């Protein structure tokens, strides 16, 4: 694991952390009981198996 050689200032730490951005999930159409829903790609199997209930 990388270990910093010197202490990083609070300002630099916060500026570095501010660069992180969350991205929107990739939505994929899934048909459940004859109705098509758009759900996140990584949850498609759960919706198909009935583990999750689509809302709406």
Query: What pTM, to 2 d.p., does this model score?
Result: 0.56
Q: Is 31 helix (H, G, I), strand (E, B) or coil?
A: strand
Distance between CA atoms of 20 and 30, rounded to whole angstroms?
30
Measured between alpha carbons, how far is 46 from 31 in angstroms, rounded to an integer?
12
For the stretch 22-37, pLDDT in tens is 888 899 999 988 889 9
Pairwise CA distance, residues 44 & 32, whole Å: 10
Q: Is the dihedral of CA 39, 45, 48, 53 positive or negative?
A: negative
Q: What is the pLDDT of residues 45-54, one digit of tens each?
A: 999 998 988 8
């Amino acid at each position: 694991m990388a270990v910093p050689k010197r202490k990083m200032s609070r300002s630099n730490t916060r500026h570095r952390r501010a660069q992180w951005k969350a991205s929107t999930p990739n939505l994929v159409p899934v048909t459940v009981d004859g109705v098509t829903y758009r759900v996140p790609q990584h949850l498609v199997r759960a919706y198909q198996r009935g583990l999750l209930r689509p809302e709406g």
